[in-house]
C-alpha cells in the first residue's frame, strides 16, 4: 500500500513526474509542482488522452484554441489527444499534487 501524499521530494527546483502504473493501455502518474510552469515557447501535444485532477494546491492551464482553466483542489479535466496545452502557473509557496491518467 502507498499514499499519494507520502514521500514528497524536498528538492522541487524541477517539476517531478513519477509513474505509479504503466501498461500498454494506461499510464498513471503523480506530478508535483511548486511554482512551475511550461516553457513559454512549448506546448504539450500528447499522443494519448489525459485525465488530470488536482489533489492539493492549484494550477492554471492554457490551451491553444480554448479558454484558460483554473483548477483548484478536487477539480479535474479531460484533455483530448493532440489538444495543445500548457501549465501557465502553480503557486510558488505550496506544492501542487496532480494525478494524471494517460489513456
pLDDT at 75: 98
pTM: 0.91
Q: Residues 4-28: pLDDT tens digits?
A: 999 999 899 999 999 999 999 999 9
Q: Residues 29-84: pLDDT tens digits?
A: 999 999 999 888 889 999 999 999 999 999 999 999 999 999 999 999 999 999 99
Query: Would you give the end-to-end CA distance of the chain in angstroms?
Result: 23
Is the pLDDT confidence value at 94 over 90?
A: yes
Q: Which domains does the chain have, with CATH numbers?
A: 16-102 (2.60.120.10)
Amino acid at each position: 500500500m502507498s499514499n499519494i501524499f507520502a514521500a514528497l521530494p524536498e528538492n522541487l527546483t524541477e517539476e517531478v513526474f513519477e509513474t505509479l502504473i504503466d501498461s500498454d493501455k494506461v499510464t498513471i502518474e503523480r506530478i508535483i509542482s511548486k511554482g512551475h510552469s511550461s516553457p513559454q515557447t512549448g506546448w504539450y501535444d500528447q499522443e494519448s488522452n489525459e485525465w488530470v485532477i488536482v489533489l492539493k494546491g492549484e494550477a492554471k492551464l492554457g490551451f491553444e484554441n480554448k479558454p484558460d482553466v483554473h483548477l483548484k483542489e478536487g477539480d479535474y479535466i479531460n484533455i483530448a489527444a493532440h489538444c495543445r496545452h500548457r501549465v501557465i502557473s502553480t503557486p510558488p509557496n505550496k506544492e501542487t499534487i496532480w494525478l494524471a491518467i494517460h489513456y
